[in-house]
């Protein structure tokens, strides 16, 4: 063997400075059991080579699935099985050596426990795959593209399908409820683009308040700047009460809600809505799309935190991840309403009308008394 290749192989065998997870020892125990007693291959739960986290372990198990083991009497007296596996797996994993195969055998406490070790290996793979799904969802929520909402919803659907598979493959048990996880959300400063779009939304709604009844899909919590969210709530309240909407009535409502202070006065409110551009529904969809992406990023962070807690079982991971994913459902349904419009056959909501002064509806007190119907 050339020196360069020997050096590279020795480097591969150097221990990792970070301690391996518990599933690493389960992989070693399972492979050691199969090296000791190849007949356990038929008894272990269906498992695939890619479910091993260690590439060398994956290559060795792939060789076990490919080669036919020798007869038990031959295996007890000859290293034929070990030599065949080493020859088949070494081209795909140079770190594999005969001494490491013997180390795997030593790492197996009892070869009869192979099915339990296999279940541990599958659980480790499920955790890694769930973490990968969460990473793809977070990547879709932060990556730029022509239609980021569609990509996020596709990733969310794929995650939901995988969670169903996990729930079916790993049955529940008395401690199946997820452990409480606290995800520290860094309250970052809203981007300049988000602030600008929200300001344009406020200006467009103030100039064209007739569009507000069609925008029930947008909530004040979808806006990232608190003062913008509060002003949008003012506009929504004015529209629902049937009060005229313009910059001055908005200012009056903001004053009654206690939004004005030394750092944010009447001139600031009027300046925010002074230059309307475009239609309110257009900017509303932009704001709602950003809320959808932000919520997807939060969901991905919660699921990632669950997977990083190794004390959480796979069924707890599935249950907790489903709960986290449910937080995306409300924003998702409102996004479909914004893009596709109301469901056919559903009457459009209209704001309540204020009766004119002097009309019967404006009269205070009980309505007019009707004569009693004569009894027969």
Q: How confident is the model at residue 185 (pLDDT cuts 50, 70, 90)?
A: low
Helix-strand-coil percent breakdown of the chain, rounded to 5? 65, 0, 35
**285 pLDDT higher than 90:** yes
Greater confidence, 299 or 173? Answer: 299
> For position 18, what pLDDT does the model report?
78
Establish how many alpha carbons lie within 13 A of residue 173's alpha carbon, considering only the half-sphere containing its beta carbon: 9
Contacts of 290 (CB under 8 A, 6+ apart): 194, 197, 222, 224
Q: Which residue has the tokens 């009869």?
A: 112
Residues 214 and 136 in one domain: no
Residues 126 and 70 in one domain: no
> For position 79, what pLDDT does the model report?
92
In a domain, 180, yes or no: no
> For position 345, what pLDDT does the model report?
44
CB neighbours (10 Å) of residue 349? 10
Token pair for 318: 């599935």
Residues 29 and 73 in one domain: yes
Residues 69 and 163 in one domain: no
Phi, psi (deg, nearest 5) at residue 73: -70, -35
User: In angstroms, what CA-CA distances link 176 with 124, 172, 202, 314, 320?
Assistant: 17, 6, 46, 9, 10
Rounded to an integer, the average pLDDT of 285-313 is 94
Domain count within the chain: 3
Q: Lowest-confidence range among 1-5, 104-108, 120-124, 194-198?
A: 1-5
What range defines the domain where residue 310 resides?
Answer: 122-169+291-340
Contact 93, 80 (CB under 8 A): no
Q: Which of 60, 78, 109 is the last residue of a domain?
A: 109
Establish how many alpha carbons lie within 13 A of residue 160's alpha carbon, considering only the half-sphere containing its beta carbon: 13
**Which percentage of the chain shows pLDDT scores above 70?**
82
Q: How confident is the model at residue 144 (pLDDT cuts 50, 70, 90)?
A: confident
Strand, helix or coil for residue 229: helix
Contacts of 52 (CB under 8 A, 6+ apart): 27, 58, 61, 121, 125
Rounded to an integer, the average pLDDT of 278-283 is 95
> For position 369, what pLDDT does the model report?
40
**104 pLDDT higher than 90:** yes
In a domain, 158, yes or no: yes
> For position 173, what pLDDT does the model report?
65
**328 pLDDT higher than 80:** yes
Residues 45 and 65 in one domain: yes
Residues 50 and 135 in one domain: no
DSSP character string of 107-148? T-S-GGGHHHHHHHHHHHHHHHHHHHHHHHHHHHHHS--S-H
Residues 279 and 295 in one domain: no
- Averaged pLDDT of the chain: 85
Q: Is the dihedral of CA 97, 14, 64, 59 positive or negative?
A: negative
In a domain, 320, yes or no: yes
Length of the chain: 376
Residues 31 and 72 in one domain: yes
**278 Ramachandran zone, left/alpha/beta (phi>0; psi -120 to 50):** left
Residues 300 and 165 in one domain: yes
Residues 268 and 330 in one domain: no
pLDDT in tens, 346-370: 444 444 443 343 433 333 334 444 4
Residues 8 and 104 in one domain: yes
> For position 177, what pLDDT does the model report?
59
């Amino acid at each position: 063997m050339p020196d360069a290749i020997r050096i590279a192989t020795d480097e591969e065998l150097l221990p990792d400075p970070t301690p391996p997870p518990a599933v690493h020892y389960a992989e070693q125990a399972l492979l050691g059991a199969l090296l000791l007693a190849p007949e356990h291959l038929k008894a272990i739960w269906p498992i695939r080579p890619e479910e091993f986290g260690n590439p060398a372990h994956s290559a060795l198990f792939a060789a076990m699935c490919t080669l036919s083991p020798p007869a038990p009497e031959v295996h007890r007296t000859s290293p034929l099985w070990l030599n065949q596996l080493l020859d088949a797996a070494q081209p795909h994993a140079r770190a594999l050596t005969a001494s490491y195969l013997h180390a795997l055998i030593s790492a197996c406490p009892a070869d009869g426990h192979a099915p339990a070790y296999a279940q541990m290996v599958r659980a480790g793979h499920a955790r890694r795959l769930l973490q990968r799904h969460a990473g793809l969802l977070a990547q879709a929520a932060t990556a730029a593209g022509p239609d980021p909402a569609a990509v996020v919803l596709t990733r969310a659907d794929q995650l939901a399908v995988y969670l169903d598979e996990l729930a079916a493959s790993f049955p529940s048990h008395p401690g199946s409820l997820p452990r409480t996880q606290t995800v520290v959300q860094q309250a970052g400063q809203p981007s300049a683009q988000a602030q600008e779009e929200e300001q344009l939304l406020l200006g467009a709604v103030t100039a064209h308040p007739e569009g507000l009844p069609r925008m029930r899909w947008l909530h004040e919590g979808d806006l990232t700047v608190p003062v913008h969210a509060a002003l949008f709530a003012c506009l929504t309240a004015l529209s629902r009460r049937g009060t005229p909407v313009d910059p001055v009535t908005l200012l009056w409502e903001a004053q009654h809600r206690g939004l004005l202070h030394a750092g944010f006065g009447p001139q600031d409110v009027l300046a925010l809505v002074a230059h309307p551009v475009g239609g309110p529904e257009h900017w509303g969809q932009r704001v709602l799309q950003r809320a959808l992406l932000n919520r997807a990023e939060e969901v991905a962070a919660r699921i990632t935190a669950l997977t990083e807690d190794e004390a959480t079982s796979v069924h707890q991971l599935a249950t907790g991840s489903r709960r986290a994913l449910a937080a995306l459902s409300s924003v998702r349904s409102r996004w479909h309403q914004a893009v596709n419009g109301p469901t056919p056959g559903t009457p459009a909501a209209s704001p309540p009308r204020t009766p004119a002064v002097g009309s019967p509806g404006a009269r205070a007190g009980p309505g007019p008394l009707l004569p009693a119907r004569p009894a027969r």
